[in-house]
Amino acid sequence: MQDDLKDLEHAKSFWYADWSFPIIVGLMSMGVFAGTSMYVNYGVGAFNEVAIVAMLKAGLTGKSFGPAAAFGASFLFARVLEGSLVGILDLGGSILTGVGIGIPAIMLSMGLTAPVKNFPLALLTGLVIGIIIGLIIFFVRKYTVGQSNATFGADVMMGAGNETGRFLGPLIILSAISASIPIGIGATAGAAIFYAWKKPLPGGAILGAMLFGFFFPIAV
Amino acid sequence: MQILTILIESIIVGLAVGFAAGVGAARMFNAPTVQALGAFRTLGEMNAAEGDPASHFSFGLGFFFNAWASTVGAGAFTQDITHRVIPNWAASILLLKNKNVAETVHNPKKMGIVSGIIGAVLVPFLNVTSASIPASLQVTAVKVLVPAADTLINMVMPILFWLAAIDAGRRSGLFGTVFGGVAALIMGNAVPGVVLGILVGKGVDELGWTRITRIILIATIALFVLSGFFRGFDINMLKAFKVGIPTWLNNMHSVVTPK
Q: Are residues B127 and B153 in the same domain?
A: no
Where is pLDDT greater, at A1 or A149?
A149
Residues 6+ apart with CB under 8 A from A12: none
Average pLDDT of the segment spanning A103-116: 89
Which of A210-214, B118-122, B231-235 holds the top average pLDDT?
B118-122
In this structure, are residues A58 and A67 in contact, taking their beta carbons and an 8 Å threshold? yes
- The answer to whether residue B136 sits within a structural domain is no
Domain membership of residue B37 as a residue range: 2-131
| One-letter identity of residue A205 | A
B116 shares a domain with B166: no
**Radius of gyration from C-alpha coordinates of chain B:** 23
Which of A6, A74, A145 has the most B C-beta neighbours within 10 Å, making it the best mutation to test the interface with B? Answer: A74
In this structure, are B123 and B200 located in the same domain?
Answer: no
> In this structure, which amino acid lies at residue B32?
P
On whether both B121 and B149 belong to a single domain, the answer is no
In Å, what is the CA distance from B181 to each residue of A174, A182, B185? 28, 40, 6
Model-level pTM?
0.71
Q: Is there a domain that residue B252 lies in?
A: yes
User: Per-residue confidence at B234, pLDDT binned at 50, 70, 90?
Assistant: confident
Residue-wise pLDDT tens digits, A3-51 = 455 445 545 688 888 889 999 999 999 999 999 999 999 888 999 988 8
- How confident is the model at residue A40, as a pLDDT? 92
Same-domain pairing of B7 and B127: yes
At B205-223, the pLDDT tens digits run 888 898 878 887 887 888 7
- A178 contact residues in B (CB cutoff 8 A): 147
Whole-angstrom CA distances from A183 to A187, A202, B135 are 6, 14, 16
Pick from A160, A37, A132: which is nearest to B12 by CA? A37
Residue A39: the pLDDT is 93
Contacts 24+ apart (CB under 8 A), A154-158: A154/A82, A154/A86, A154/B40, A155/B40, A156/B164, A156/B165, A156/B167, A156/B168, A156/B172, A156/B198, A156/B202, A157/B161, A157/B164, A157/B195, A157/B198, A157/B199, A158/B39, A158/B40, A158/B41
**Number of structural domains in chain B:** 2
pLDDT in tens, B104-127: 888 999 999 999 999 999 999 998
Both B127 and B82 in a single domain?
yes
pLDDT for the residue numbered A58 = 83
pLDDT at B232: 79
Q: What is the pLDDT of residue B198?
A: 87
Do B191 and B153 share a domain, yes or no? Answer: yes
Which stretches within A62-153 are classed as H helix? 66-86, 91, 103-109, 114-117, 119-143
Residues B9 and B82 in one domain: yes
Out of B16, B24, B134, whose CB is closest to A30?
A: B16
In a mutational test of the A interface, the residue from B7, B37, B113, B214 whose CB has the highest number of chain A CBs within 10 Å is B37
pLDDT at residue A13 in the model: 80
Q: Is the dihedral of CA A60, A61, A66, A69 positive or negative?
A: negative
Domain boundary among B131, B154, B186: B131
End position of a domain, from candidates B131, B161, B178: B131
CB A16 within 8 A of CB B114: no
Average pLDDT over residues B70-79: 85
Per the rule left: phi > 0, alpha: psi between -120 and 50, beta: everything else, A60 is: alpha
Least Cα distance to B111 among A197, A96, B119 occurs for B119
Query: Which residues 6+ apart lie within 8 Å of B114 measured at CB?
Result: B22, B90, B93, B94
Tally A–B CB contacts below 8 A.
Answer: 358
Residue B139 lies in a domain: no
The residue extents of the domains of chain A are 2-143, 154-214
Helix (H, G, I), strand (E, B) or coil at A90: strand
B162 and B235 share one domain: yes
Q: Is residue B137 part of a domain?
A: no
One-letter amino acid of B1? M
Do B182 and B241 lie in one domain? The reply is: yes
Residues B122 and B154 in one domain: no
Helices vs. strands in chain A: H and E counts, helices first: 11, 1
A:135-194 residues touching chain B, CB 8 A cutoff: 137-138, 141, 144-146, 148-164, 167-168, 171-172, 174-176, 178-179, 183, 187
Residue B118 lies in a domain: yes
Amino acid at site B184 = A
B161 and B84 share one domain: no
Task: Report the share of chain B in percent with pLDDT over 90.
Answer: 29
Q: In a 3-state reduction of DSSP, which class is residue B168?
A: coil
